Amino acid sequence: MINCLLTGVGGQGTVLASKLIAQCAINEGLNAKTAETIGMAQRGGSVVSHVRIGEDIHSPLIPLGAADIIIGFEPGEAVRSLPYLKKGGTVIVCGKAIKPTTDSLSETSYSGEDMLAYLLSEEQNVIVIDGEEICRKCGSAKVLNTALLGAAAKSGTLGFSAEQFKSAMEMKIKEKFLQMNLEAFELGADAVDK
């Protein structure tokens, strides 16, 4: 069984990423379940997608302490979801913080660096990705999801190869955006070795 939690801020594209992982599973004849945040929380709130692969899965939501991997689209959101990670699990995280309006209005200052430092102090397998740089290279902020998937695939935790992900992307991403997303996926994978 593989449990993957994707976490971020509404609008970052976690839903498509979770669908791509589940599609890989289905293409391999495996059972998959996902659960998404849809509705009001999508408007700039914290969102999570749960992806569960394997037999004998009951709950659509991953229990606390059971995730093999957390894919954090934002450092603070990765920290918020850390209780879901199992011992020795992997964290893939985009280093760029998204500051909420509540922070800009207050005297305190939310820092992504503090969040990354916390993740690195708590967990052994943390891979920080410069998602902003990859998005700039690909010319769109919308490819953060496929960039992080590239990194997750490279980490080996999900159990699917780059080729398997690419065929899932071909099935689920519109033709005119496909090339850009394939490039982001490659750049994400390359970033793991750096």
Partner 1 sequence: MAKQLLMGNQAIALGAIRAGVKVVTGYPGTPSTEVLETVAEENNGNVYVEWSVNEKSALEVAAGAAYSGARSMVTMKQVGLNVASDPLMSLAYIGVKAGMVILVADDPGPISSQTEQDTRHFAFYSKLPVFDPSTPEEAYTMIGDAFDYSEKYQTPVLFRPTTRLCHGCAAIETDSTVADKPVEGFIKDTSKWVIFPKTTYRNHIKIEERNPKIGEDFSSYKGNSLTGDGKKGIATGGVCYQYVKEALSMLSADGDCKLLKLATVHPFPETLALSFFDGLEEVLVVEELDPVIEKQLIFLCGKHGIKLTIHGKLDRFAPTAGESSVELCLSMLSKFLGKTAPALAARTAPPPLPVRPPVLCAGCPHRASFYTVKRAMKGRKAVFSGDIGCYTLGNAMPLDMVDTCLCMGAGITVAQGIHRAEPDTVNFAFVGDSTFFHTGIPGILNAVYNQTKIVVMVLDNSTTAMTGHQPHPGTGMTMMGEIAQKISIPDMLRAMGVTSVEVVDPLDLKETEAAVRRAAECEAVSAVICKSPCIAVTKPKPSYTVDAEKCTNCKVCIKQLGCPAIVKGEGKAEIDRSLCYGCGICEGICPFGAIGGEK
Contact residues toward partner 1 (CB under 8 A) are 9-11, 19, 22-23, 25-26, 29-46, 56-61, 63-65, 76, 79-80, 82-83, 86-87, 98-105, 108-110, 114-115, 118, 121-122, 132, 135, 141
Please, which residue, 104 or 193, has the CB nearer to partner 1? 104
Q: Which CB, 154 or 187, lies closer to partner 1?
A: 187
CB of 193 to partner 1, least distance (A): 26
Query: Could you tell me which residues are beta bridge partners of residue 129?
Result: 94
Give the shortest CB-151-to-partner 1 separation in angstroms: 19
Closest CA to 154 of 135, 132, 129: 129
Q: Confirm if 65 and 86 have CB atoms less than 8 A apart.
A: yes
Q: Nearer to partner 1 by C-beta: 19 or 154? A: 19
Distance of CA 133 to the CA centre of its chain: 16
Closest CA to 38 of 59, 14, 62, 22: 14
Cβ-based nearer residue to partner 1, 139 or 156: 139
What residues does 48 pair with on adjacent strands? 7
9 DSSP β-pair partners: 46
Six-digit token string for 100: 């909420």
Q: From the CB of 13, what's the least distance to partner 1, in Å? A: 11
CB of 136 to partner 1, least distance (A): 10
